[in-house]
Structure 1
Amino acid sequence: MSYLVHPLLKPEAVEKRLFQIDLAARALRGSTLVVMPTGLGKTIVALMVMLARLEKGRVLFLAPTRPLVEQHAAFLRRVLTSPDLVASVTGETDPESRAEIWRSCRIAVSTPQVVENDLLSGRMDLRDVSLVIFDEAHRAAGNYAYVYIAERYRREARDPLVLGMTASPGSEAERIAEICANLGIESIEMKSESDPDVAPFVHHREIEWIKVEVPEQLQKIRGVIDGLVSERMEEINSLGMCRIDPRTSKGELLDLQKRFSSALARGPNQNIFRGISLLAEIMKLKHAVELAETQGVSALRQYLERLAQEARSRGGSKASRRLIEDPRIQHVLSVLKDIDLEHPKLSRALEIIEDQLETSPESRIIVFTNYRDTATALLRFLQANASDAVKPVRFVGQASRENDEGLSQRKQSEILEKFRAGEYNVLIATSVGEEGIDIPSTDMVLFYEPVPSEIRSIQRKGRTGRARTGRVVVLIAKGTRDEAYYWISDRKERTMRRQLQGMAEPLPVDSAVPDTAPISSRASRQISITEICEPDELPLIIVDSRERDMARLLEKTGLRIVLRSLEVGDYVLSERLGIERKTADDLIDSIIDPERDLFRQIGDLARTYDRPLLIIEGQNLYARQVHPNSVRGILATIAVDFGVPIVPTGSIEETAALIALMARREHEAGYRDVKLHGRKTSRTLKEQQEYLISALPGVGPSVARNLLRHFGSVERIMTASEGELMSVDKVGPKTAARIREIVSGEYKG
């Protein structure tokens, strides 16, 4: 065995593989997208390119998650002679420390969101960065931070070079071209497991498909829900605007929703309103069908109970309310409560896992499932029924919801470490586990259900067969969309390989990197705004940290941007001028949901700035099911009572151009003292009491005030009986019962 030799590499730290050296050499000739199966050493390719570029400047290594950042940083520190060359930077690193790290480190491994934040806030620049590595480069689409960073890098760097790495960029030529356009890619280099120079390093991966029968009771429940779907589809067809049938895919339904919304923007139409509402119900019902087919009783029950809870809440959707009020859904809920039946996938998964651990006791197994509820159900099932050899743990994302706490990135890292060490040997993961988990000893990946995405399927399968022979098992419920999803992902994987082979155009060995636009020119470029500011005239604007998309656009106009958490307004242009931005939908939502505190925000803006301004963005201000006079009343109150001017704009680009122009005017007029001031006004005790009581189900602001006037305190309301509650105006039996249920019910978190 031979090893790479370099002054910055420890002896015998990295094995030499010719195909990796060839890829690195090609990547050094021009910005390159390397597409290669997981486990074949994309990080080694990145290391070689990095070592060759370090003499030209600093290196920025980007990865989408904190665990992946820590993984890459640990690898680099392990193989480099000087671990101090490497700094890892995440959101947990405080801003002042980050500024110093950007100035001093040679190799920075970071999440893209942190880099985007610090570029926009002026804590770092990319002028002397000689290489940017984008791991999981397939994410470079839409508004993801990779896109902004790559654009800034091309604009600022003295000698830019980009290396993108992914196992699966997607099956559509347009998507691959978009990724290349966004990253400034000049060539695509692809390696597959069947390539002669790669094959000696590939471990065999056995793939099995195991089919299970859906129990008759679940099939009956599915039939009931399917009937509801058909009814709603027929009603949409009767509106005369389109034709859909049970074979219509989820993607086609989503496209139809967009078309309906676009049509609604041109003017109110009762048929379109009804169509949008019916589509929302269909999407919810189709999800319920999928859960019944592929996940089982507990997942379906939990989903319908969440719908019922949403229907009872004040801000719940009308679609949820109509579904839950349907007698057939009520019947399904009743049946689900009495069924002592689980999907056969649970017992089959247990059998497969125990068989693997009996054959290979040191195995590590990853079970992938699409849904958190299923991950929880499988964890509980294994804990209750599996042998002591099975040591399972749930691995999910950061977001929390009711009765389901997410995992922080720190906790995720801890779980992965314990999984590697063997404290856990079965990792039950949702999509958060699909990218970048470096566990060489994973012997088996179990798909609880197929996924219709070639990217996700490839990522999942790549978790095994990395250091030794691996096993992939896919559970499929017969006669369900499981079967369709399997064939869809298989077809997309084959299409992706064909597309990449057609697009891969390596630069000739002796050629120089062309100055002309690379293959990225085939894809549409981002919208750019006409530059308003002269190079030597750079007005400063403070932008609320939640307005990142706008900050990117404003920066392109020549403004100096500082991201900060603003308590009042969204943009500060000068000591006197503060701006609040609302989309038309935001404004309408504030009418429907009083908790949004629109008037408090406007009042704070008017109190804080001599020149307050409200920008309302979008064309559909009167397109929602809210009476136009309600909208006009809101606008009149803002303009007349609060004295805040209102400026309409048609799009985010138009808003950015307007803000940039006003910032320049303030700058030229001498109002250059841009600093934070103003704080939110705190709720009075009365307002806090009203807010607390109005949060109870079936209780709005008006009823909350009635309850407080009648009982005199929050405490007395909470201890009142149903009869006492019903003596208050506008409180009926249902509301009284729900209040008592919430107040006295046992917490089961």
Structure 2
Amino acid sequence: MIVLRDSSDYSDSEVDLPSIEVNGERGNVPTSVLCNVEGSLLNSNPALRQPNLKCIKHNQDVENTTFQLDLRGCRVPSSQPQVITELENNIDIPKNIDAMQNWIFPQTQQYRNYQKEFCEQALFHNLLLALPTGLGKTFIAAVVMLNYFRWFPESKIIFLAPTKPLLLQQRVACSNVAGMSPGATAELNGEVSPDRRLFEYNTKRVFFMTPQTLQNDLKEHLLDAKSIICLIFDEAHRATGNHSYAQVMRAVLRSNSHFRVLGLTATPGSSTASVQKVVDCLHISKLIVRNEESIDIRSYVFHKKIQLIKVTISSEMNILKSDFANLYRPYFNFLRQKKLIPINCECLNIKAYTLFVSLRKYSFSSKNVQSKEKSKIMSCFTLLISCAHITYLLDCHGIIQFYQKLVETKNKAEGKGSGQSFWLFTSKPFAFYLEHLHNKIQGLSLNHPKMNHLLELLKEHFKDTSEGYQNQRVMIFTEFRNTAEYITTTLLAIRPMVRASLFIGQANSAYSTGMNQMQQKETIDQFRAGVINTLVATSIGEEGLDIGDTDMIICYDASSSPIRTIQRMGRTGRKKSGKVFVLLTEDCEDSKWERSQVSYRRVQKVIESGKKIALKKDVPRLIPSNIQPIFKFQALQNNADATLILNSYNNNSSSLSPVNTLANQAHSRSKRYLPFIVDDVFEDMESNLRVPTEDAKIKRFKSDYRSCIYNARRNVFSKPTYMGDKLTKFAKVPHSLLTLSIYRRGRLLQQCSPSSVTKYLKYEEKFKRKRMKKTSNALFQST
């Protein structure tokens, strides 16, 4: 759909029509069938009115409203908002035509044909590239950045990474490949002050940023979205929903659709729906997915030997599991009598996923039912889901983790003071069971059967001479932090053969404190240097960070997500053949492993067939259509070094500031290593404390007015107190006089129109004058 409108209404996002060649002549060719001229043609002067019409293509990116003219020529808003976005091709962006005659591919020691092909696709399409770990996704991104840096001499290129440790790592890698000097790039995150970021935007063109920082800078207009020519998303499978990646993409598309997108990931998603969400969010027009069995990359992938080790829990653990099941069995039988649980579901081997599906079905079927029985049923479902998770910890991780979770759940239930969880976890039978479990843990050292297999695997791997195992490195993955700490403590018994270290995230848990970024970096450096030969990691070690190649991977538990499984196994087999061992508990984790593998294979087949993934077809060509860049090998001078980048970053962060502000002075002080999400929250708080603009004030007025009218319609205000002509001196008024006046004036108002906002502003000024008058009278009387 195309709508023709006056260009004055789209001053922020004016674009030209797509320019194509027809019979040797170039012209603007619209691609629509419907036109609508905004404004009243009957009330305007034809001699003075000279509309400059623009072409707008119907799409689903930017929300707007189309208008219809009534018999008098006035605009009538449509009952249904339509989503439109501008179609452009030949936007006036400075280009280097000479540089566009070719695209450069750096000469490397090992040329890989698939990298050349993928680079060519990424230069001319919005590409989502899914490659196994270690096959050069960063190299491809660097080549794309290099060529867009040459082609568009005034536009900006931004590489986005989800965490701060990834920024420096990707900056060094891309700069080494593309031969960029440290002064040409900048690393921006929440620790860099807004003034400093503004200075970097005005002086540099290549940026490595966290998505939260870019989102905030676009919101505060520190960076013009129209100046962006290339956006690269690392770990692009995160770009769904309200993730910062998705919000950044929406913010840029509001005013600019003339830029290139490259998404990098190991696996695009765990299902077809999740892949489609990523494609829609990043506006992808080309999708390339490869696995280790793909023909074009098979010769560059080393063999990985994957072995599954299935274990059974001990008899003591079975007794503990049965006794715990007897505690929550009455609640299970209650739901079974209501026929809300599947028949094949057993109380002893209850699964949280099965209960969650049953809960959703019941919630939809009884959406409009309000009764005590419904609240009891919902409370029983919540209790059983919690018990199923606790049972899973006993089956797959051990008695210690099982006991810790019971204590944590008991403390939470006591804080609530009501509900089925409160009655179960504060009952005398549960207290007796918890005391019995505590005595058993204190008396014996009860290891999970997985731990015995883990120790045997490590001893077998490091049994060679001292020189042999110094160069060998092993990573152990587990889902929970307390399990990782328990494994690390247990491995102390076989030092110095196994020199293990913990590698976890930054957030603090109930039983441990996290690792800050400095501690994480130090641990990785020791692992690379051989000081540590075994790394026990949670999900933080699965993606992103360049930990290096490892000889053996041990998965202490199975993940139902194929993304996490592929990322775990991708840590080995990069430079030589590797081994992967997966420890599974029978009748618990083996089915989860099978589901993840089936899901991964199904998604791969769907993507390869190209039938169920809808790609975008309205992505414009960025270079002129009469130019076809030619492939060119070129040796680039490697003038980027990690030390130089670090030094340049430290020097630039404390000098050359355009404005001497308190923010710049605070930035020059010693850094505090806080979780990156905390920095982003502080950054948002800082932006909220700034003086609001006039547009922001109007939005707040509208919001306050709407909420006031909504409360008035629900009769929230007390009539005896508020409906009188005058307020008494001792009347309790929970709202301000301004809110009360809005309520009185807006009782019959159907919607918040511009005229109502004008009234709102007038009454605000009126009360300000009254307040100032009373203050001046009081001061006069006191004097």
TM-score strictly above 0.5: yes
Partner of 1:531: none
Partner of 1:375: 484
Partner of 2:128: 33
Counterparts of residues 44-83 of structure 1 (less than 5 Å): 44-55=139-150, 56=152, 57-79=155-177, 80-83=179-182
What amino acid is aligned across from residue 607 of structure 2 in structure 1? L
1:207 counterpart (296, 302, 306)? 306
1:402 counterpart (496, 510, 514)? 510
1:141 aligned counterpart, secondary structure:
coil
C-alpha distance in structure 1 between counterparts of 2:573 and 2:333, whole Å: 48
Is the contact between residue 571 and residue 579 of structure 1 (CA under 8 Å) also seen in structure 2? no
Is the contact between residue 476 and residue 555 of structure 2 (CA under 8 Å) also seen in structure 1? yes
Partner of 1:491: 598
Counterparts of residues 642-721 of structure 1 (less than 5 Å): 642-643=735-736, 645=739
What amino acid is aligned across from residue 218 of structure 1 in structure 2? M
Partner of 2:410: 308
Which structure is higher in RCO with an 8 Å CA cutoff and minimum separation 6? 2
What amino acid is aligned across from residue 351 of structure 1 in structure 2? E
CA RMSD of aligned residues (A): 4.3
**Would the alpha carbon gap of residues 320 and 401 (structure 1) be closer, same or farther in structure 2, given more than 3 Å must change?**
farther
Task: Return 5+ residue gaps in structure 2 as ranges.
Answer: 1-100, 622-676, 678-682, 722-729, 742-750, 766-783
Is the contact between residue 188 and residue 504 of structure 1 (CA under 8 Å) also seen in structure 2? no
Partner of 2:734: 641
TM-score by length of 1: 0.67
C-alpha distance in structure 2 between counterparts of 1:580 and 1:318, whole Å: 41
C-alpha distance in structure 1 between counterparts of 2:333 and 2:360, whole Å: 20
Provide, for residues 488-534 of structure 1, a one-character-per-residue CA deviation record: whole Å limited to 9, x for no partner: 111112112112112289999xx997659xxxxxxxxxxxxxxxxxx
Is the contact between residue 39 and residue 462 of structure 1 (CA under 8 Å) also seen in structure 2? yes
Task: Quote how far apart the aligned CAs of 1:15 are.
Answer: 3.8
Provide, for residues 307-347 of structure 1, a one-character-per-residue CA deviation record: whole Å limited to 9, x for no partner: 2222333x567454223124443343123212221212223
1:175 counterpart (255, 274, 277)? 274
Task: Quote how far apart the aligned CAs of 1:299 are.
Answer: 0.4
Is the contact between residue 117 and residue 563 of structure 1 (CA under 8 Å) also seen in structure 2? no
Provide, for residues 619-643 of structure 1, a one-character-per-residue CA deviation record: whole Å limited to 9, x for no partner: xx9xxxxxx99xxx9xxx9994344
**Would the alpha carbon gap of residues 115 and 514 (structure 1) be closer, same or farther in structure 2, given more than 3 Å must change?**
closer
Provide, for residues 289-311 of structure 1, a one-character-per-residue CA deviation record: whole Å limited to 9, x for no partner: 10110111110111111122223
**Would the alpha carbon gap of residues 398 and 662 (structure 1) be closer, same or farther in structure 2, given more than 3 Å must change?**
farther
In terms of mean alpha carbon deviation, does 181-190 or 96-105 score higher? 96-105
2:383 counterpart (278, 281, 300)? 281
C-alpha distance in structure 2 between counterparts of 1:216 and 1:616, whole Å: 65
What amino acid is aligned across from residue 145 of structure 2 in structure 1? M
TM-score by length of 2: 0.65
Provide, for residues 537-581 of structure 1, a one-character-per-residue CA deviation record: whole Å limited to 9, x for no partner: xxxxxxxxxxx9xxxxxxxxxxxx997465899999877996899
What amino acid is aligned across from residue 266 of structure 2 in structure 1? A
Partner of 1:351: 456
Partner of 2:436: 335
Task: Quote how far apart the aligned CAs of 1:145 are.
Answer: 1.0
Partner of 2:201: 102
**Would the alpha carbon gap of residues 230 and 218 (structure 1) be closer, same or farther in structure 2, given more than 3 Å must change?**
same
Is the contact between residue 701 and residue 760 of structure 2 (CA under 8 Å) also seen in structure 1? no
C-alpha distance in structure 2 between counterparts of 1:659 and 1:353, whole Å: 71
Aligned positions, number: 569
Partner of 1:436: 544
1:246 aligned counterpart, secondary structure:
coil
Task: Return 5+ residue gaps in structure 1 as ranges.
Answer: 1-5, 517-547, 549-560, 582-610, 622-627, 648-656, 672-749
C-alpha distance in structure 2 between counterparts of 1:249 and 1:126, whole Å: 48
Is the contact between residue 578 and residue 613 of structure 1 (CA under 8 Å) also seen in structure 2? no
Task: Quote how far apart the aligned CAs of 1:171 are.
Answer: 3.6
Is the contact between residue 370 and residue 449 of structure 1 (CA under 8 Å) also seen in structure 2? yes
Provide, for residues 87-141 of structure 1, a one-character-per-residue CA deviation record: whole Å limited to 9, x for no partner: 2222222232222223332221111122112222222232121111111111111
**Would the alpha carbon gap of residues 205 and 571 (structure 1) be closer, same or farther in structure 2, given more than 3 Å must change?**
farther
Which protein is bigger by CA-based radius of gyration? 2
Is the contact between residue 310 and residue 320 of structure 1 (CA under 8 Å) also seen in structure 2? no
C-alpha distance in structure 1 between counterparts of 2:140 and 2:410, whole Å: 52
**Would the alpha carbon gap of residues 454 and 169 (structure 1) be closer, same or farther in structure 2, given more than 3 Å must change?**
same
1:397 aligned counterpart, secondary structure:
coil
What amino acid is aligned across from residue 213 of structure 1 in structure 2? T
Counterparts of residues 176-255 of structure 1 (less than 5 Å): 176-239=275-338, 246=345, 250-255=352-357
1:358 aligned counterpart, secondary structure:
coil
C-alpha distance in structure 1 between counterparts of 2:709 and 2:400, whole Å: 44
**Would the alpha carbon gap of residues 363 and 263 (structure 1) be closer, same or farther in structure 2, given more than 3 Å must change?**
same
What amino acid is aligned across from residue 135 of structure 2 in structure 1? L
What amino acid is aligned across from residue 337 of structure 1 in structure 2? H
2:521 aligned counterpart, secondary structure:
helix
What amino acid is aligned across from residue 116 of structure 2 in structure 1? I
**Would the alpha carbon gap of residues 128 and 515 (structure 1) be closer, same or farther in structure 2, given more than 3 Å must change?**
closer
Is the contact between residue 31 and residue 186 of structure 1 (CA under 8 Å) also seen in structure 2? yes
1:447 counterpart (555, 559, 574)? 555
**Would the alpha carbon gap of residues 258 and 414 (structure 1) be closer, same or farther in structure 2, given more than 3 Å must change?**
farther
1:404 aligned counterpart, secondary structure:
coil
Task: Quote how far apart the aligned CAs of 1:382 are.
Answer: 1.2
Is the contact between residue 121 and residue 563 of structure 1 (CA under 8 Å) also seen in structure 2? no
C-alpha distance in structure 1 between counterparts of 2:755 and 2:550, whole Å: 56
Partner of 1:388: 496
1:290 counterpart (383, 387, 392)? 392
Is the contact between residue 328 and residue 424 of structure 2 (CA under 8 Å) also seen in structure 1? no
**Would the alpha carbon gap of residues 491 and 507 (structure 1) be closer, same or farther in structure 2, given more than 3 Å must change?**
closer
Is the contact between residue 504 and residue 540 of structure 2 (CA under 8 Å) also seen in structure 1? yes
Is the contact between residue 420 and residue 439 of structure 1 (CA under 8 Å) also seen in structure 2? yes
1:185 aligned counterpart, secondary structure:
coil
Is the contact between residue 261 and residue 282 of structure 2 (CA under 8 Å) also seen in structure 1? yes
**Would the alpha carbon gap of residues 43 and 643 (structure 1) be closer, same or farther in structure 2, given more than 3 Å must change?**
same
**Would the alpha carbon gap of residues 28 and 394 (structure 1) be closer, same or farther in structure 2, given more than 3 Å must change?**
same
1:123 aligned counterpart, secondary structure:
coil
C-alpha distance in structure 1 between counterparts of 2:137 and 2:476, whole Å: 24
C-alpha distance in structure 1 between counterparts of 2:358 and 2:594, whole Å: 25
